[in-house]
Amino acid sequence: MSQIPFAAAAYETLLVDQPRPGVGRITLNRPRVMNAYSFAMTQELLAALATYRDDDDLRALILTGAGTRAFCTGGDISGADPEHSARVRTQPMGHGREMREGMQAVAIALRGLDKPTVAMIRGYAVAGGLALAMACDFRFGAASARLGDTSGKVGLLPDEGGAWLFPRAMGLDRALRMTLLSEIYDAPRAAGLGLLTEVVADDDLEETTLAFAGALAARAPLAVRLTKMMMGRAAGLSLEESVADAQMAVMIANPSADVREGLKAFFEKRPPKFEGR
């Protein structure tokens, strides 16, 4: 059965498009609640990420939020879906199952992708919204963006992956301080703490992020995917194990048509045209 093209899929809580050749974009589309996620949104995110993963014509992904107020403010605690909330409360271990099958699954899916992802952040990225951004490979933030973990304000936890993601980005002491004191940082401070890759003037954010994603998409797909896999695994490996990984990857990359094209383009002094073969 043929797969629906990435940009042709229809969702209730997301917008998907392809703003540049090789670049997909997923926009969280609940601006009235500052793009807070519902369980339905997590299921649509999982579907959209799977479509991106399986589409070889897409080589980079931008994840962003609709409007200018927020990237995502975490889980929707407004009670807007009482039927779903009732099901969670009445099931044994219901809250844990909701997290496991919801935003935790999204964070794992994002981290597991072997193609690059870029979070484009306007406004607030807090609590689970910050975890969602940190699950991406890169984070470009508007100068007016605000990032932090507010879950503790209402007695909630960094349970969407933040307990793993935050300390790896900013160190354990800083992550604990942010979460335990529910701190929110402006964009320059967030960048200094490791939460943002780059701070961009508000008016330039979209074009800068698109240009960056486009540059990623223009690179040799096999090399990009193998490099991401190698670096993602390396933190849990010894040097000996990591270079053994590299030996396996070299046997895929070095004989590829992309390497032949890259070398030919280098000597012909022209941009290469990589096809991922």
CA-angle at 45, arms to 21 and 209, nearest 5°:
40
120 lies in a domain? yes
Q: Report whether pLDDT(81) > 70.
A: no
Tell me the pLDDT tens digit for each residue of 233-257.
Answer: 998 999 999 999 999 999 999 999 9
Q: Which pLDDT band holds residue 5 (cuts at 50, 70, 90)?
A: confident
Tell me the pLDDT tens digit for each residue of 186-207.
Answer: 999 999 999 999 999 999 999 9
Tell me the pLDDT tens digit for each residue of 108-140.
Answer: 999 999 999 999 999 999 999 999 999 999 999
273 lies in a domain? no
pTM above threshold 0.85: yes
Residues 31 and 163 in one domain: yes
Residues 232 and 138 in one domain: no
1 lies in a domain? no
Q: Report whether pLDDT(267) > 50.
A: yes
Q: Report whether pLDDT(8) > 70.
A: yes
Residues 142 and 262 in one domain: no
Q: Which pLDDT band holds residue 96 (cuts at 50, 70, 90)?
A: confident
Residues 142 and 46 in one domain: yes
- Long-range contact set of residues 201-207: C-beta below 8 Å, sequence gap at least 24: 201/142, 201/143, 202/122, 202/142, 202/143, 202/144, 205/120, 205/122, 205/140, 205/141, 205/142, 206/120
Q: What's 150's domain CATH number? A: 3.90.226.10
Residues 196 and 109 in one domain: yes
Which of 74-83, 163-172, 197-206, 219-228 has the weakest average pLDDT? 74-83
Per residue, the 3-state secondary structure of 67-86, as one string, reads: CCCEEECCECCCCCCHHHHH
65 lies in a domain? yes
Residues 150 and 236 in one domain: no
Residues 262 and 162 in one domain: no
The pLDDT, as a whole number, for residue 1 is 41
> Over pLDDT 70: what percentage of the chain?
95
Residues 233 and 100 in one domain: no
Q: Which pLDDT band holds residue 85 (cuts at 50, 70, 90)?
A: low
Amino acid at 170: M
Residues 153 and 82 in one domain: yes
Which structural domain, as residue segments, surrounds residue 71?
6-218
Residues 237 and 156 in one domain: no
Number of structural domains the chain divides into: 2
CB 68 within 8 A of CB 132: no
